[in-house]
Amino acid sequence: MLRIGLTGGIGAGKSAAAAALAGFGAVVIDADRLAREVVEPGTPGLAAIVEAFGPEVLAADGSLDRPKLGKIVFGSDSARARLNAITHPLIGALTASRAADAPPDGVVVHDIPLIVEGNSGAGFHLVVVVMAPEDVRIRRLTELRGMPVEDAKARIGVQATDEQRVAAADVLLDNAGTPDELREAVGELWTERLLPYANNLAGGTPAELPPNPVASDPLVSGRLAFAPLQAGAGTPDPSAAGAFGRAAARLRFLLRTPDLPVDSTPGLPGVLDLRVTVPDAEAATAALDGSGWIVGAFPDGAVAYSADPGAPGRLFFEVGA
């Protein structure tokens, strides 16, 4: 199945994008909702929190009093670590359970506010970032949520910057306009990239390499922007450094090697060609199962081709220390 990380700053419209994706058939897993579910009354999660922080974190009705708990944990690194040690494994298990219910050729969208802040994008096939100008976000927060202007600015100020989100994004969804424009962009993304990518993964089919590629400019279509590909000339060109960095990070995540040597290699223009030095090519190849790479016997010597129609690529292994 195709795993999508969906994120965006407060007021950008991430929830609207998630709803649109669900309408096209995606299985949406809302991290915030799961975080609430694992601490509902009667759950082991809530019992563990009460044991760790005392019964004063309970409201009169037996539910978690989030403001009280917040006062305890947000001023203390150790308290926050204790809370995370309780909730994160529970959220992870529930996330895995929900994802397992999706069909093999499905698209699972993980709606997570802090993908960029948590530097967790490498765990997804693609990261989709919903963007909107700050003044638009402030207007939405004040008019639609009743938030004071200063509070809205403060909430935005403690989150990742637009530059950080752009660097983390495989796909940018521009949500400065109307809800209909956002749904149109999501539909385009679904039809042109997500659904073909999911079908390629399910069928073990690599994406076609472009016959007449152009690599110097981002691929822009309507209100949807795909990150540019690398030019295939030794090192990534400046406009495509982010695409190379995200691909390298995903390989390091898959192979569980944070310092894994990953280089670009001269190859086809418009194709993300990666050369990786691994100690054991057989083990490294096995680790690609379920990733965005389709393993095969390719005539150019590549170990795998990308299944992503929006970012065709080739992967080469070299055995070394």
CA nearest neighbour of 42 among 62, 68, 65: 62
- Residues of the binding site: 11-16
Dihedral sign of CA atoms 148, 150, 155, 159 in order? positive
Q: Please answer whether residues 303 and 260 qualify as being in contact, where contact means their C-beta atoms are separated by less than 8 angstroms.
A: no
SS3 of 273, please? strand
- Residues of the binding site for ATP: 11-16
How large is the greatest C-alpha to C-alpha distance in the chain, in angstroms? Answer: 68
Q: What are the φ and ψ backbone dihedral angles of 224, each rounded to 5 degrees? A: -120, 130
Angle between the 134-144 and 149-157 helix axes, to the nearest 10 degrees? Answer: 130
Distance, CA of 121 to CA of 98 (rounded, Å)? 19
Helices and strands, number each (H, E), in the chain: 12, 12
Q: Please answer whether residues 11 and 138 qualify as being in contact, where contact means their C-beta atoms are separated by less than 8 angstroms.
A: yes
